[in-house]
Amino acid sequence: MPDATGESKFAHADTGNKKTRDRSCFLALSLVLVLATLLRVQHIESVGVSFDESFTMKMIEFSWPEMLTRISLETQPPLFYALLKLWANLFGNTILAGRIFTSLWGIAGVWAMFLFIREAYRDSSLSNKERFEQATFPALLAALILAMAPLQLFWTMQIRMYSMPLTLALFSAYFLMRALNSPDQRMRDWTGFTLTASLLSYTHYFGLFVLVAEYAFALGYGLVLRRNNQATTGEVASGALVSPPLNNQWLLVLLSASIVSLAYQPWLPYFLSQRQHVASSFYHPELSWAVWGTAFDQLWMGEGQPLSAWRGLLFSQISFGVLLIVLTGKRPGDVLITLCSAVPVACVLVFSVISHPIVVARYLMFSQLFLIAALAVAVSQIPLKSLASLALIGACGWLGWGHYEYRNEMASCPGINAALQSFHAGTREETLIVSNPMLFTSAIVYSTDQSRLRNYLPQRGFPFYQGTPVMREEEYITLRSLDDSDLTVVWTLDSRGRTMGRVPLSKNWKLESESTYREWFTTLFLRKYTRHHSPPVEVVL
């Protein structure tokens, strides 16, 4: 009788503790999501639109058939553009609407990180307290780090496809772990994994590297990890997860991979064409220790910060060490996290050596997602985890604060909006000639009359990565056609630096005025010219 009473009280206390922890977890996750939201809506409309954003906004203005044709001339898959176009049809093709769309994906990514880590390390054979320490705590810590990561913040707030595939990568990993851990729900979870994997493949090409890691893990999971687990634990305890038959598991993995592969076939010819296009004319700096270090430094420091190659190389070594530490745990989650972080980096390095350099910080964000997960898992397993967690949160908070201040600085720049307001304040018949498609696409976002804007066209043209896939022929103007026109006044919009260049007007035009506007990514020059008539030539008889 006393034993029964004692067990009943213990069970009741354990249930009460579980409810308390669940409430605390819900509150903590809610606070993390609130923080992620606040950071991702900071100056959401007031920061000047970048070339990447304006390029995207212009792309979705075309009809569906023309948009798909023009996307094939770009370097990305079509899904993000398609969903953004549908979103714009509902809420408008504006800076605010576009940034809300990508920010929502970024916030969902923080939630997906929590779900993934908790699922990857859940073990029903453990007590409630042990499950919290092993799964829930690192899940909350990883979600918090991701919420504050500067480069993740920056690209979440850009109208570009990065927040969407990053979130899909986490959801695909989450559904994969559910499918492998829950045999009674595996068909539903395999469907979720296959769907998110297919969507990821159509959203960003670097997502394919994550899928390689996930399918490699899934194939080896039943063969190695489950066999090792059963060999060391013996009989499965009551309430613990039961491994599905290996043949069924292999069949489900191969079926999922086949579906994703078949779903990708319609886009494969366009992918191969884009790859050839990139290899022949796209520019990235050649792979070197300096390039690698700078990219890795920007990966953690974010945009707008002074970069250091040696510091980036140190970050790279620390990241490698963290992955090794996590891998020593030999748990399924440890292996998946290590593969999903290491495989994309390895693919980037191999591709850069044998084909074309692609070492860019924003591309490495797919690897960074799982590095963040590895950091949280590693810290949660050490003896002084409370102190180490506070130190990690403090370091990430400091980095996040740096991005917060940079965002304030970005919003303080009058930039291209002020330049276009100055131009439109003049005579309505005057024309503005922009130096480069990268700048032209941004200018038309703020223009109240796009018919008055033209883009200067040099004889050599522009490389495709400067925005030509979204340019119409009638939006260009040559210097010869300008000189032959009846215009008496023209304005030009140039940018400091060689990339966007300057409109090289002929001697027929005289500079009347020049204004400078500071934008967060460049300095703009708005110049006014009048046609200059040379004195008549005297004829001597």
What confidence tens digit (pLDDT) does each residue in 187-212 have? Answer: 899 999 999 999 999 999 999 999 99
CA dihedral sign, ordered 18, 20, 21, 23 = positive
Give the residue-averaged pLDDT of 388-409. 96
Axis-axis angle for helices 309-327, 289-301 (nearest 10): 70
Token representation of residue 385:
């985890």
Amino acid code (one letter) for 221: Y
Give the residue-averaged pLDDT of 76-82. 97
What's the rounded Cα separation, in Å, for the pair 331 and 318? Answer: 21
What's the rounded Cα separation, in Å, for the pair 419 and 524? Answer: 8
Contact criterion met (CB below 8 Å) for 221 and 244: no
| pLDDT, averaged across the chain | 89
Contact criterion met (CB below 8 Å) for 295 and 349: no
Token representation of residue 336:
């998946």
Task: Name the residue with higher pLDDT: 345 or 428.
Answer: 345
Is residue 337 over pLDDT 60? yes
Give the residue-averaged pLDDT of 497-513. 88
pLDDT in tens, 100-149: 999 999 999 999 999 999 999 998 888 888 888 899 999 999 999 999 99
What's the rounded Cα separation, in Å, for the pair 193 and 187? Answer: 10
pLDDT in tens, 27-45: 999 999 999 999 999 999 9
Is residue 439 over pLDDT 90? yes
DSSP 8-class letter at 133: I
DSSP 8-class letter at 452: G
Helices (H), 282-364: 289-301, 309-327, 332-354
What's the rounded Cα separation, in Å, for the pair 308 and 294? Answer: 6
Token representation of residue 55:
């390029």
CA dihedral sign, ordered 62, 64, 69, 75 = positive
Find residue 510's DSSP bridge partners.
Answer: 530
Is residue 21 over pLDDT 80? no
**Span of 7-11, 45-49, 90-94, 97-101 with lowest mean pLDDT:** 7-11
* Dihedral Cα 47, 53, 54, 58, nearest 10 deg: -140
**Percent of the chain surpassing pLDDT 70:** 89
Contact criterion met (CB below 8 Å) for 170 and 116: yes
Contact criterion met (CB below 8 Å) for 504 and 433: no
| CB atoms closer than 10 angstroms to residue 392 | 18
Closest CA to 500 of 534, 478, 524: 524
Token representation of residue 95:
């800076």
Is residue 9 over pLDDT 80? no
Task: Name the residue with higher pLDDT: 39 or 223.
Answer: 39
Amino acid code (one letter) for 368: Q
Confidence of residue 319 (pLDDT cuts 50, 70, 90): very high
What pLDDT is stored for residue 540 in this prediction? 44
Report the predicted TM-score, pTM, of the whole model to 2 decimal places. Answer: 0.91
**Percent of the chain surpassing pLDDT 90:** 72
What pLDDT is stored for residue 279 in this prediction? 74
* Dihedral Cα 241, 229, 168, 264, nearest 10 deg: -110
pLDDT in tens, 338-355: 999 999 999 999 988 888
| CB atoms closer than 10 angstroms to residue 31 | 13
**Beta strand 453-456 with 476-477: parallel, antiparallel or unpaired?**
parallel
